[in-house]
Structure 1
């Protein structure tokens, strides 16, 4: 897991992520199908889907 200490850098990464979100979500739906959709629903119950997607993206970045 990549830890982002710098708030400015974190904001820039989040801006980039918002541009990539649609692409990533479509790719994940193709790859994982219903498994991803159910986990996405669980994330919505917990709160910010975007921050969770950001942390997942950073793991693989």
Structure 2
């Protein structure tokens, strides 16, 4: 991951997301380890929304 090796890229990402450099570093470290929490939370929300819209999928 280039973001973890390059402090300028890490700072640019932190500024664009409104987080700290430490939070950006933690985010990319979690991605590298396979713990992408935002993506799994988004997928779970989308699945529950579609189940509510179409009750047949929940059976």
Do these two structures clear the TM 0.5 threshold for a shared fold by scoring above it?
Answer: no
**TM-score, scaled to structure 1:** 0.29
- Say which structure, 1 or 2, has more relative contact order (CA 8 Å, 6+ apart): 1
TM-score (norm 2): 0.30
Q: Which has the larger radius of gyration?
A: 2
